[in-house]
Amino acid sequence: MTISSLTLATRLIGQSSVSSESSRPIADDVSNLLADAGFRITQYVYKTKEAVKGEKNKKVEVEKVNVFAVKGGDGQPALALSGHLDTMPYSEDGWNTDPLVLTERSGLLYGRGACDMKGFVALAMSVGMSIPAHELKRPFGLILTSDEEVGCVGVRRIVEQRRADKLEPIAKNIVIGEPTNLQPFILHKGYIYIRVLLRGKAGHSSEPHKGLNPVERAVPDVLWRINQLKESLGQIRDARYEVPFASLNVGVITTGEEAKKNTIPQVCTIELDVRTLQGQDPHEIVQALRKHIAPDGSIDGIAVEVQLVRAPTPPFETAPDAPLVTNLVDIFGKQPASTSFNTEGGILNSAGCTCVVCGLGSIEQAHKKNEYVAAEFFSQKVSDGYERLVRRFCCSEVEP
């Protein structure tokens, strides 16, 4: 059974699968389609706590599902194509089309996930369906994950489960189809998400002597000290990147949903990220931040806590002469490069897989209203390119 990539993309984009929702419906849909096409299906299931929209401080347990589909023999796939099933949130406000309807206008295909990254998932499924199992001398795999958009949670669960079960890495070689305009990316930085909590004493602005304002007493010092660490990180360089040092960005300063101009807030939260170079220890950076911001845990009576919000994502690097890289260069005619955005590649590389990031469309369209991918990426030429890659690794007498 073969279904065109465009038909599959229409089907996948028609299903809401934002990260805060259960991925069970879309995971079951792709599992059933792939099982009918001769794939053996393994689902890695886990649960998360998600906020209930419109209900303050209420969370419910939500089921998440990763899909691992294998075709053509037993054992570790020689090659897998990988993509995530979840998308960023969407609203029809600001969209010129229905975000859950794949719509073509002037050679562009609009829809939530068209670029990031249901378009590639659809293409990968179509390519896998089109190759008969008896032609595969080595197994071929599809890895379809949940919760990539909220910290690569799903792929972490796969790696953890396989380690616990003492299984080999999920595939020998993996193409992660994040949007790269078909250029192989073989290098990106790691990622650390940090929260700084400043706790004072709440009160009313008319009686400042009865409160302790964390914004006034601590925020200026904290930002100054963060910037000192930022300057220190900038002294270590890697010329392979457009931004050749570990970047640090303060993106959020908030006193909460109920912030008012006439109240003294009890808590102020500062959120920042650090994008680390190869060889930098994320835990050392977090510890340095703790010691530098408030070595004794407070500033002018304000309690200071530096939190690592979730496990860091490691940097990603694959050798430019790796067979997966050289074959992608040969097929699509674009030289390998580094990228500034983060992917599941660092986690999968750390688990023993060889990964390259190479997919449809541009990252410039991801996470935006009116997200689109050029229709040319669904051409037979592009599908044939990925099929040639699969056949070289899984159908030839000798693996590259």
As given in the structure block, the two tokens for residue 32 are: 């059933």
Structural contact between residues 160 and 152, judged by C-beta atoms closer than 8 angstroms: no
Bridge partners (DSSP) of residue 249 are 273
Task: Give dist(CA 126, CA 1) in Å, integer.
Answer: 9
Task: Give dist(CA 336, CA 325) in Å, integer.
Answer: 7
- Give the angle subtended at the CA of 134 by the CAs of 132 and 138, to the nearest 5°: 100
CB-side exposure of 364: number of CA atoms within 13 Å? Answer: 3
Pairing of strands 247-254, 267-275: antiparallel
CB-side exposure of 379: number of CA atoms within 13 Å? Answer: 11
Task: Give dist(CA 175, CA 121) in Å, integer.
Answer: 11
Query: Which distant-in-sequence residues (6+ apart) come within 8 Å of 210 by Cβ?
Result: 201, 203, 204
As given in the structure block, the two tokens for residue 287 are: 């510890």
As given in the structure block, the two tokens for residue 62 are: 């939500």
Bridge partners (DSSP) of residue 105 are 108
Nearest partner of 398 among 333, 330, 323, judged by Cα? 323
DSSP secondary structure, 254-293, as one string: E--TT--TTEE-SEEEEEEEEEPPTT--HHHHHHHHHHHH
Structural contact between residues 90 and 152, judged by C-beta atoms closer than 8 angstroms: no
Residues assigned a catalytic role: 86, 148
Nearest partner of 145 among 27, 252, 227, judged by Cα? 27
As given in the structure block, the two tokens for residue 2 are: 């073969």
Residues in the chain: 400
Nearest partner of 14 among 115, 92, 98, 96, judged by Cα? 98
- Name the percent of the chain in helix, strand, coil, to the closest 5: 30, 25, 40
